[in-house]
A and B are shown apart, each in its own frame.
Chain A
Amino acid sequence: MSFARISPSLFAPAWLVTALLVLASLSLVFFVAPMEVQMGIVQKIFYFHVPSAFAMYVGWGATAVGALAYLASRNPKADALAVAGAEIGMLFCAIVLVTGPLWARKAWGVYWTWDPRLTTTLAAGMIYLAYLSLRSFGEAGESEKLFGAGLAVLGVPVLFLVHYSVQKWRGVHPTVITKQGGGLAPEMVTPFLLSIAAVLSLALLLLWTRYRLERQRQAIDAARARALEADLLENEA
């Protein structure tokens, strides 16, 4: 693996800090945070489920920013950000959609129910999965990039629906974190905040890594195209 080539001076310290945050949060979650009265040990899924949802928003938020910027400027950096954000958002969406049902089996007695938040999260996941599928069909041309950017922008309202669905529609999904202060026991707050820091740090690090890789790929594609134009290379296709 050659991640270190991406940015040798910052890469290792960033990973070290993230690894320490993850280890610290795991130890707080399992050795400091108290057991929840109703659900017992399965409530500890919450400490990484909710931060993963935040990381999902970060990833797809980056996609929205990148897609809008690409539509406005055709800047390849914006396209790289959109692709990187879509993958990171999809990763954490998958984590949310797997860990949530495992918690729900204990809390609700079923793995899945068509609750507004669950349904809108699944819908958002399908939109960005479509975006990634479109971008993975070989080397994306300009039309694929533009269509993909439009699709990514269309996903933005769904993200707001995911976030506000709990307040706007009746459902069974809990909203423990609210503006009124939340329903967490005081001993659960520190482990939860540290888990948020750990997961967001991991998400940003993955986003940065994927963005740099995409920029390198773009540079190679551009170099190959220039070499072909100058008849320095034979067209393999």
Chain B
Amino acid sequence: MSDPGVPPSPARRTVPFRGGGFAPQSRSWISWATLVVVLGAWQGAVSGGLVSPIFLPSPWTILLALKSLIVSGELWRHLAASLSRIGLGWALGTMAGIVVGVMMGLFTSFRSGGIPMVSALYPIPKIALLPLFILWFGIGETPKIVTIGFGVFFATVIATFTGVDGVPRSLIRMGQSFGMPMFGIVRKILLPGALPGILAGFRISASTALLLVVSAEMVGAQLGIGSFVLSAGNLMQTDQLLAGVAVLSVLGLMIGLLLSRLEKWLLRWR
């Protein structure tokens, strides 16, 4: 059935459309084109003599430096040193952080005692504590790993206890209403419910770990990407220096990719 309505009149106008915009999309060709243009302009500026290659080597020279680092095996020795520090420090800090974060999410005493401690210690740039840790643990791997662990710990504590707080209380009441024991509620309801928050915290703690490993290696280390970048700078080998920085960029991307995979797999129920 159609509505007979009002017959057309000369004064009738179209309702103006006002719902457009606010819907940006991602076009992969633009992404690639931007990259190519930026690298091309950089290469052109250096090759054309606009920029001194000592202060800013061209992308091509950096690539060659990177290749020689790979071929000589130097890259792997530095990378292995940095990765083992990150791995150990991050794992220790994360484990301790999750335990403390869950306790703060569960018990009044831990929460009341923990929040002021975390608030006071979290803003400290943890690298400032490295000299203290060197005094405590001597020169070597331990102070670096402890510094990384310490930085990771606080980010994880905060992510974990806010994650635990975010678990709907109705789910906990449900567990109690079925007579689930406390440990069961923690393991089967609280931890999985806090997992999205904990995993989001992993992103922050991973970038903290990367930052701290480079800083710590610049303070005192024979091996590691940080010390490599520093010594290249001291020798004005800017191509080597930027090759090291490029490795850090790739490392950061890989860690991010790994975490995305982990999230996708662990949170496949979302």
- Bound pair: A and B? no
Which residues of B are interface residues toward A (Cβ below 8 A)? none
